[in-house]
């Protein structure tokens, strides 16, 4: 919870803005890196979660690689100083110029999501006179037990190549001269809180890797994606996600021999260090008796509640009232779905109060838009207050 003193300092900035706790980011990275080292695991940070330059700079200090979802993300990572050899790039619809750029930059691996894409990568690599390292992103058909809007590894999903198709296309794949299949990749979804899901994932990966090796694929690494969830309900109880548990499960269940194991965490690294600070503009009551608090943020700064029905804990950081009321928190955008939360219990809330929308460091500012010609939200860092 933000102290009264910090809340007063925040009044010096025009709302809405993202506030990043750099100490918490460092603690999170330290925890992830120290446990990963124990097992010699490699972590790529999923840059789609947040590409704020200061955040990237801190992440770089801890030696993480980068996981990208577009050519511009690859460019952003390289411009931020990440070594191309630490970059992986997945994406179900890579455009031609993005594939050519990734080949040109010599990134660690392109995570390929269809056989047709593999053939295109092969053709572009041949034109460039290169042999490109590829991981096959396989759809393992696993239910990650999360919000269905953010699951990616069920059989009918657009992501990854079906395992059966890979088995049936082995010879066709192996005939390609300008791609080298060195890895197997999967990512089954995000905000995974039931950690036993990672156990199923390992059991599937063990079988897939064994069969791919039998078919003659020489795999040196297995990338099990990201997905580790965070505590949105009570962020103060769990500011740093439980990396030790997930790595321990993976270590006990994954049977991939000496192959290097890679992860692509986004949310778990940055979600808890960021919050969206917004000012209260107006109060009003609907004809049906709903008390609305209209804040100066909207879905243009943080779209997760409107896009996925995602929950963020909201607190009034300036009210000193002992009286509590039930409020619905709505934004400024010209959309009926522009609601952050409904019927929540807050101390009496008035024009000029500041609210914090917590756990917003991941998929917050990176999904911001300029709809209604709103300005993009600026960043304020805890160590600069």
Rounded-to-integer distance, Cα 27 and Cα 47, Å:
19
Q: Which is nearer to ligand PLP, 142 or 333 (CB)?
A: 142
Q: Which is nearer to ligand PLP, 48 or 100 (CB)?
A: 48
Query: Rounded to the nearest whole angstrom, what is the least distance from the CB of residue 265 to ligand PLP in the complex?
Result: 4
Query: Rounded to the nearest whole angstrom, what is the least distance from the CB of residue 184 to ligand PLP in the complex?
Result: 13
Query: Rounded to the nearest whole angstrom, what is the least distance from the CB of residue 16 to ligand PLP in the complex?
Result: 23
Q: Which is nearer to ligand PLP, 73 or 353 (CB)?
A: 73
Query: Rounded to the nearest whole angstrom, what is the least distance from the CB of residue 28 to ligand PLP in the complex?
Result: 12
Q: Which is nearer to ligand PLP, 48 or 374 (CB)?
A: 48
Binding site for ligand PLP (CB under 6 A): 46, 49, 67, 90, 187, 190, 225-228, 264-268, 362
Rounded-to-integer distance, Cα 198 and Cα 145, Å:
11
For residue 142 the two structure tokens come to 């696993």
Query: Rounded to the nearest whole angstrom, what is the least distance from the CB of residue 112 to ligand PLP in the complex?
Result: 12
What does DSSP say about strands 221-223 and 260-265: parallel, antiparallel, or unpaired? Answer: parallel
Q: Which is nearer to ligand PLP, 268 or 276 (CB)?
A: 268
- Cβ-contact 301, 368 below 8 angstroms: yes
Neighbouring residues of 26: CB distance < 8 A, sequence distance ≥ 6? 58, 62
Query: Rounded to the nearest whole angstrom, what is the least distance from the CB of residue 114 to ligand PLP in the complex?
Result: 14
Rounded-to-integer distance, Cα 59 and Cα 287, Å:
49
* Region for residue 106 given its phi and psi (left: phi exceeds 0; alpha: psi -120 to 50; beta: otherwise): left
Q: Which is nearer to ligand PLP, 90 or 173 (CB)?
A: 90
Query: Rounded to the nearest whole angstrom, what is the least distance from the CB of residue 179 to ligand PLP in the complex?
Result: 19
Rounded-to-integer distance, Cα 207 and Cα 216, Å:
14
For residue 165 the two structure tokens come to 């198709």
3 state SS of 65: strand
Q: Which is nearer to ligand PLP, 247 or 327 (CB)?
A: 247
What are 329's strand-pairing partners?
293, 341
Rounded-to-integer distance, Cα 358 and Cα 293, Å:
17
For residue 338 the two structure tokens come to 């522009």
Tell me the residue number closest to ligand PLP, measured at CB: 226
- Cβ-contact 115, 92 below 8 angstroms: no
């Amino acid at each position: 919870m933000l102290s009264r003193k910090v809340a007063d300092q925040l009044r010096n900035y025009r709302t809405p803005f993202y506030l990043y706790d750099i100490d918490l980011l460092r603690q999170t990275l330290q925890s992830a890196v120290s446990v990963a080292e124990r097992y010699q695991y490699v972590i790529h940070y999923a840059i789609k979660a947040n590409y704020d330059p200061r955040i990237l700079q801190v992440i770089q200090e801890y030696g993480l690689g980068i996981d990208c979802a577009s050519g511009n993300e690859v460019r952003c990572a390289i411009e931020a100083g990440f070594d191309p050899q630490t970059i992986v790039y997945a994406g179900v619809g890579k455009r031609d110029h993005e594939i050519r750029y990734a080949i040109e930059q010599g990134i660690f691996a392109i995570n390929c999501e269809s056989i047709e894409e593999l053939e295109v990568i092969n053709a572009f690599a041949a034109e460039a006179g290169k042999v490109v390292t590829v991981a096959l992103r396989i759809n393992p058909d696993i239910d990650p037990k999360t919000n269905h809007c953010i699951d990616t590894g069920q059989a009918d999903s657009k992501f990854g190549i079906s395992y059966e198709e890979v088995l049936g296309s082995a010879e066709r794949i192996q005939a390609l001269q300008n791609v080298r299949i060195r890895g197997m990749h999967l990512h089954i979804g995000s905000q995974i809180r039931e950690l036993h899901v990672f156990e199923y994932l390992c059991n599937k990966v063990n079988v897939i890797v064994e069969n791919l090796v039998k078919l003659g694929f020489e795999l040196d690494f297995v990338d099990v994606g990201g997905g580790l969830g965070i505590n949105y309900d009570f962020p103060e109880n769990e500011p740093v996600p439980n990396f030790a548990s997930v790595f321990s499960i993976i270590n006990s269940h994954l049977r991939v021999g000496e192959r290097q194991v890679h992860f692509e965490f986004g949310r778990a690294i940055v979600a808890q260090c960021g919050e969206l600070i917004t000012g209260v503009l107006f109060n009003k009551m609907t004809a049906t008796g709903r008390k609305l608090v209209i804040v100066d943020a909207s879905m243009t700064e943080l779209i997760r509640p409107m896009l996925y029905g995602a929950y963020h804990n909201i607190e009034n950081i300036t009210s000193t009232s002992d009286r509590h009321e039930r409020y619905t928190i709505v934004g400024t955008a010209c959309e009926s779905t522009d609601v952050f939360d409904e019927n929540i219990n807050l101390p009496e809330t008035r024009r000029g109060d500041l609210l914090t929308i917590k756990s917003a460091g991941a998929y917050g500012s990176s999904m911001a838009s300029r709809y209604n010609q709103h300005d993009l939200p600026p960043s304020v860092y805890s160590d600069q207050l």
